[in-house]
């Protein structure tokens, strides 16, 4: 018997789908739409297993929803700007555009080989001017709306890549790509005003019910709303005071110092004529701005030589410049209360400052409670605090705020951790920021009629820094306002800019006038199901939520949220292999031998390490293209989908893939064995009555339809496949040439083909055709379970002939009289007794007896 010949079958079906234009999406207001989207890939040149998993999951949803009758949009494109193209240009001397386009062409073919139900006519590539021109227009609209602005800002500077890094690109104080210690620098940057929407971005999370809780929590923490107070302190001998932000105004009587950020205006002013302080500030600046870095660093301060005046006691307290105070949070200044904040306590011990507890846990008193080396951050009653004594913490906060407000020394307020989004990058391979700098007119927006501002096609990467800046001609233009010589902005957008609106572009990808029409976006958006990695839980997803609001406010859209449903898939993992001298080996270089492994080249033993996320650095990668060449796309998809729940990590194993391959062949052979005979030929209708085994299979088939439908709705794809496998086993168990057996088997296999179609689309098309299907499965509606056959509840009914027991049969509880009658008359013993004659009478006692009177 032949094996499933995926090499000829899979491409043939892809051609059929192509010829049918089966996945082209068209707006149709009469039909309910369903927009399913997977995060688009970066065109590195080769797909990896993470892509296969992501796109296989999305494809199941897309095909399932289409079969359920939805008008499905399932597009694909390329997140095509970014650093790797520039690195490749430097290393291999290929222009970034060529490198990127070649990679896209290669990856498109690899993805197509997976048989995804994608509307390729909507493909977009963010590095092409026909894409990025629209975001330049959006940026100009944001400028007009006050949602984009320019200011000097401290940035993380990677001294090797010569670029600004986002805080998340700084890992342990080092650049994520170069590993070089990150420095702080001040640059004039463009910002998008995401903080304008901070509160809305936070509260709307509650309504994103089809998002994972963990992602919503991460966004909540990222936005980081804190309630507290701003308090203004006088500084002895100075005109100007200092404002601090605190979440613990109740601890004001425990204050022992005031600390300024090294970048606080007063710190800078003092540093101007204090070289020691200037050196301290410079040292702090070299440290990087990420919170993580600051959190880890030893807490250090520099006595500023000033004294802050306590707002209630009038006490004079020392002012420090301290490395742990961020200029970009709150007001850039804090009051320190060592007894109730660990950081302040460490600081106080180091600089020998007083530690006065002002909150005592329930049961303790001012005389017996003290703080040694651990700050007390729990609840309790206020002590040592004059008018606050005896109050609980919450009431204490309120009371202090009321007092401050009455005295005009401060007020209650909330602060967000969320910062405005700095979008300027000093790179070539990004979307040019459409602005021209003129000595007399300042930063002038490029007139809309001059868009797009295209990248020059002849960048040079022979020296560090931004090729746009060194380009001989590109930046030299006339000022659009005064006509004098001026210079283009040479920064490009952060590549998160492109991915913040691509889902809208897919709605109307060939529109040349605007990024997308209101009508198209109105029909397709929001995305009903978005699928991708949890690594994007914060930035990409938050920026997209912000962009949607900003576009709404600029009149592009009328929705708030881009993605109503979000699913974050787990990672694809593999064991790791190492030679005894510590060199990583690819799985393809190793043979597993029970518990251990040996190296193929020389048979030497290999150390097997635990399973970890597939990564090139550990070489524990399996190339999807190899797998597809060996087993076909359907087997790869099936294994990916069946092995573990989609939100969990998946362990890629050779034996797992082989298991999937065996299953594919088992059902293939089972159908082929019979396809030219009884199963394929006539599509006989269901026999009126089925014998018990055939009926049991029919029931199981309906139950499987029901179960799988529910599983697919809930992303329980592995469970769905397990059910289908059980059904396949049951079909294989029902051998025999009886008419009703054949019918039940065919019904079973047809159902297997239809239910498995979203997972293994090529194989199931071919099975369907052999089972006598005349039209491809791709346009078919999803099977519907007969609710009557799902009822578990059965009763055993006695079948009598003239009052004598002749048989017992199982019937659904409360079966209709006619059903019970038919079942009784179909019994062998009854048929014999009747001998071809009609009974005189049939008496049915529901759920108990059928008496056939002859």
Annotated binding site: 616
Question: Under rule CB under 6 A, which residues in 220-259 are in contact with ligand ANZ?
Answer: 226, 245-248, 251
Stretch that binds ligand ANZ, among 337-345, 492-500, 634-642, 822-830 (CB under 6 A): 337-345
> What are the tokens at 460?
């040079």
337 binds ligand ANZ, rule: CB under 6 A: yes
329 binds, among ligand ANZ, Zn ion, none (CB under 5 to 8 A by kind): ligand ANZ
CA distances from 211 to 55, 107, 295, 561, 565 (A): 19, 29, 30, 12, 6
Closest CA to 649 of 586, 568, 584: 568
Query: What are the residues whose beta carbons fall under 8 Å from the beta carbon of 318, sequence distance 6 or more?
Result: 257, 258, 303, 304, 306, 307, 308, 353
Could you say which of ligand ANZ, Zn ion, none residue 479 binds, taking C-beta under 5 to 8 angstroms by partner kind? Zn ion
482 interacts with Zn ion by CB under 5 A: yes
The answer to whether 481 contacts Zn ion (rule: CB under 5 A) is: yes
Query: DSSP per residue over 141-152, as a string?
Result: HHHHTTSEEEEE
Binding partner of 482, given ligand ANZ, Zn ion, none, CB within 5-8 angstroms per partner class: Zn ion
CA distance 743 to 726: 18
The one among 340, 545, 618, 702 contacting ligand ANZ by CB under 6 A? 340
Kindly indicate which of the ranges 25-33, 316-324, 430-438, 573-581 contains the residues binding Zn ion, using the contact rule CB under 5 A. 430-438
Interface residue with ligand ANZ, options 182, 325, 638, 767 (CB under 6 A): 325
Interaction of residue 323 with ligand ANZ, rule CB under 6 A: no
User: Which H/E stretch holds residue 637?
Assistant: helix 633-643
Residue 442 or 779 with smaller CB distance to Zn ion: 442
Q: Which stretch binds Zn ion (CB under 5 A): 482-490, 566-574, 783-791, 795-803?
A: 482-490
Report how far residue 288's alpha carbon sits from residue 536's, in angstroms, rounded to the nearest whole number.
Answer: 23
Would you state the torsion angle of the CA atoms of residues 452, 489, 481, 515, taken in this order, to the nearest 10 degrees?
30
Out of Zn ion, ligand ANZ, none, which partner does residue 438 contact, by CB within 5 to 8 A per kind? Zn ion
Q: Which is nearer to ligand ANZ, 123 or 268 (CB)?
A: 268
Q: Quick check: 192 binds Zn ion (CB under 5 A)?
A: no
| Between 173 and 332, CB nearer to ligand ANZ | 332
In whole angstroms, the minimum distance from the beta carbon of 389 to ligand ANZ comes to 17
Based on CB atoms, which residue is closest to ligand ANZ, 70 or 329?
329
- Residue among 574, 571, 569 at smallest CA distance from 652: 574
* Residue 304 contacts residue 267 (beta carbons within 8 Å): yes
Measured from the CB atom, the residue of 294 and 539 that comes closer to ligand ANZ is: 294
**Nearest to Zn ion of 475, 619 (CB atom):** 475
Which one of 43, 50, 262, 332 is in contact with ligand ANZ (CB under 6 A)?
A: 332
In the complex with ligand ANZ, the residue whose CB is nearer, 419 or 780, is 419
Q: By CB under 6 A, which span of 99-107, 324-332, 347-355, 560-568 interacts with ligand ANZ? A: 324-332
Nearer to ligand ANZ, 163 or 323 (CB): 323
What angle, 0 to 180 degrees and rounded to 10, lies between the N-to-C axes of helices 624-631 and 49-67? 60
Site for ligand ANZ in 696-735 (CB under 6 A): none
229 is in the binding site of which of Zn ion, ligand ANZ, none (Cβ under 5 to 8 A by kind)? none
**Cα–Cα distance measured from residue 507 to residue 518, given in angstroms and rounded to the nearest whole number:** 10
DSSP-based helix, strand, coil % in the chain, nearest 5: 40, 20, 40
Residue 481 interacting partner from ligand ANZ, Zn ion, none (CB closer than 5 to 8 Å by kind): Zn ion
| Window of 70-78, 326-334, 603-611, 702-710 that interacts with ligand ANZ by CB under 6 A | 326-334
Other C-beta atoms within 10 Å of 555: how many? Answer: 10
Q: Which is nearer to Zn ion, 267 or 479 (CB)?
A: 479
Smallest gap from Cβ 485 to Zn ion, in A, equals 9
Tell me which of 335, 369, 461, 501 binds ligand ANZ, using CB under 6 A: 335
From the list 238-246, 367-375, 455-463, 480-488, the region that binds Zn ion by CB under 5 A is 480-488
Nearer CB in complex with Zn ion: 225/481: 481
In 354-504, which ranges are E strands?
Answer: 359-360, 381-382, 410-416, 421-422, 424-425, 435-438, 442-445, 476-478, 485-488, 492-493
Prior bond of 526 cis (ω within 30°): yes
Q: What number of chain residues touch ligand ANZ (CB under 6 A)? A: 17
Residue numbers belonging to the annotated binding site for ATP: 616
How many other C-beta atoms can be found within 10 angstroms of the C-beta atom of residue 377? 11
For the four alpha carbons of 379, 380, 384 and 385, in that order, the dihedral sign comes to positive
Q: Which residues contact 654 (CB under 8 A, 6 or more apart)?
A: 587, 592
Binding ligand ANZ (rule: CB under 6 A), the pick from 86, 119, 341, 508 is: 341
14 near ligand ANZ, rule: CB under 6 A: no
Q: Which of 17, 329, 351, 584 binds ligand ANZ (CB under 6 A)?
A: 329
CA–CA separation, 612 and 590 (whole Å): 17
The C-alpha atoms of residue 788 and residue 433 are separated, in whole angstroms, by 63
| 441 binds Zn ion, rule: CB under 5 A | yes
Shortest Å distance, C-beta 710 to ligand ANZ: 43
User: 309 vs 441, which CB is nearer to Zn ion?
Assistant: 441
Among ligand ANZ, Zn ion, none, residue 421 binds (CB under 5-8 Å by kind): none
Long-range contacts of 744-748, Cβ-Cβ distance < 8 Å, separation of 24 or more? 744/690, 744/693, 744/694, 744/695, 744/697, 744/698, 744/701, 745/674, 745/679, 745/697, 746/678, 746/679, 746/683, 746/771, 747/686, 747/697, 747/698, 747/701, 748/697, 748/700, 748/701
Q: Which residues contact 380 (CB under 8 A, 6 or more apart)?
A: 359, 360, 361, 362, 364, 392, 393
From CA 28, how far away is CA 7, in angstroms rounded? 37
User: Where do contacts with Zn ion occur on this chain (CB under 5 A)?
Assistant: 438, 440-441, 479, 481-482
User: Where do contacts with ligand ANZ occur on this chain (CB under 6 A)?
Assistant: 226, 245-248, 251, 324-326, 329-330, 332, 334-335, 337, 340-341
């Amino acid at each position: 018997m032949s094996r499933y010949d995926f090499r000829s079958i899979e491409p043939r079906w892809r051609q059929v789908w192509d010829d049918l234009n089966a996945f082209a999406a068209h707006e149709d207001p009469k039909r309910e739409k369903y927009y399913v989207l997977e995060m688009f890939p970066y065109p590195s040149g080769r797909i990896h297993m993470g892509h296969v998993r992501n796109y296989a999951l999305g494809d199941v949803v897309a095909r399932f929803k289409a079969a359920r009758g939805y008008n499905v949009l399932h597009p694909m494109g390329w997140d095509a700007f970014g650093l790797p193209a520039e690195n490749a240009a430097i290393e291999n001397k290929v222009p970034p555009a060529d490198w990127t386009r070649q990679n896209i062409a290669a990856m498109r073919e690899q993805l197509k080989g997976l048989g995804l139900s994608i509307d390729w006519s909507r493909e977009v590539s963010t590095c092409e001017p026909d894409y990025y021109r629209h975001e330049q227009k959006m940026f100009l609209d944001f400028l007009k709306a006050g949602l984009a602005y320019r200011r000097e800002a401290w940035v993380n500077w990677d001294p090797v890549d010569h670029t600004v890094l986002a805080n998340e690109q700084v890992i342990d104080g080092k650049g994520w790509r170069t590993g070089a210690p990150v420095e702080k620098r001040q640059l004039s940057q463009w910002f998008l005003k995401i903080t304008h929407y901070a509160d809305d971005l936070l509260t709307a999370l509650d309504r994103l019910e089809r998002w994972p809780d963990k992602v919503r929590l991460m966004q909540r923490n990222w936005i980081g709303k804190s309630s507290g107070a701003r308090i203004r302190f006088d500084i002895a001998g100075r005109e100007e005071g200092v404002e601090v932000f605190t979440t613990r105004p109740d601890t004001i009587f425990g204050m022992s110092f005031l600390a300024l950020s090294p970048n606080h205006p007063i710190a800078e002013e003092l540093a101007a004529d204090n070289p020691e302080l200037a050196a301290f500030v410079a040292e702090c600046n070299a440290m990087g701005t990420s919170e993580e870095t600051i959190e880890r660093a030893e807490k250090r301060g520099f006595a500023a030589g000033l004294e802050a005046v306590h707002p209630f006691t009038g006490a004079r307290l020392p002012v420090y410049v301290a490395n742990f105070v961020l200029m970009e949070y709150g007001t850039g200044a804090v009051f320190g209360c060592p007894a109730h904040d660990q950081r302040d306590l460490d600081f106080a011990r180091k600089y020998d400052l007083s530690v006065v507890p002002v909150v005592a846990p329930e049961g303790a008193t001012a005389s017996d409670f003290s703080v040694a080396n651990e700050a007390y951050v729990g609840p309790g009653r206020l002590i040592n605090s004059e008018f606050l004594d005896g109050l609980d913490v919450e009431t204490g906060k309120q009371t202090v705020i009321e007092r401050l407000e009455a005295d005009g020394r401060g007020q209650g307020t909330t602060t967000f951790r969320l910062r405005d989004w700095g979008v300027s990058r000093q790179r070539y391979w990004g979307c040019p920021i459409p602005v021209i700098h003129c000595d007399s007119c300042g930063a002038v927006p490029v007139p809309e009629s001059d868009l797009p501002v295209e990248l020059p096609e002849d960048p040079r990467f022979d020296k560090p820094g931004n090729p746009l800046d060194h380009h001989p001609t590109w930046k030299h233009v006339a000022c659009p306002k005064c006509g004098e010589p001026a210079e283009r902005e040479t920064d490009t957008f952060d590549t998160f800019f492109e991915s913040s609106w691509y889902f809208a572009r897919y709605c109307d990808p060939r529109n040349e006038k605007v990024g997308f029409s209101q009508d198209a976006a109105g029909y397709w958006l929001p995305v009903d199901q978005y699928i991708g990695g949890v690594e994007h839980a914060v930035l990409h997803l938050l920026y997209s939520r912000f962009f949607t609001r900003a576009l709404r406010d600029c009149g592009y859209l009328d929705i708030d949220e881009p993605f109503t449903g979000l699913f974050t898939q787990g990672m694809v993992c593999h064991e790791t292999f190492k030679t005894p001298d510590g060199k990583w080996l690819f799985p393809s270089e190793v043979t597993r031998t029970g518990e251990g492994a040996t190296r193929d080249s020389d048979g030497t033993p290999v150390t097997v390490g635990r399973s970890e996320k597939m990564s090139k650095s550990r070489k524990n990668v399996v190339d999807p293209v190899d797998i597809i060449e060996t087993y076909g796309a359907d087997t790869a998809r099936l294994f990916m989908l069946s092995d573990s729940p989609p939100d969990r990590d998946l362990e890629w194993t050779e034996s797992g893939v082989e298991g999937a391959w065996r299953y594919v062949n088992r059902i293939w052979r089972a159908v082929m064995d019979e396809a030219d005979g009884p199963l394929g030929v006539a599509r006989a209708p269901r026999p009126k009555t089925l014998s018990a085994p055939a009926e049991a299979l029919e029931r199981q088939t309906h139950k499987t339809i029901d179960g799988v439908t529910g599983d697919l709705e809930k992303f329980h794809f592995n469970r769905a496949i397990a059910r289908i496998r059980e059904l396949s086993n049951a079909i294989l168990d029902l051998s025999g040439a009886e008419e009703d057996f054949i019918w039940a088997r065919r019904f079973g296999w047809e159902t297997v083909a239809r239910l498995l179609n979203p997972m293994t689309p090529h194989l199931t098309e071919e099975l369907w055709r052999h089972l006598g299907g005349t039209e491809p499965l791709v346009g078919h509606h999803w099977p519907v379970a007969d609710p009557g056959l799902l009822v578990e509840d059965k009763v055993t009914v006695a079948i009598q002939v003239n009052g004598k027991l002749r048989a017992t049969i199982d019937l659904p509880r409360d079966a209709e009289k006619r059903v019970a009658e038919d079942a009784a008359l179909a019994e062998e013993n009854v048929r014999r007794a009747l001998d071809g004659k009609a009974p005189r009478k049939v008496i049915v006692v529901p759920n108990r007896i059928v008496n056939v009177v002859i």
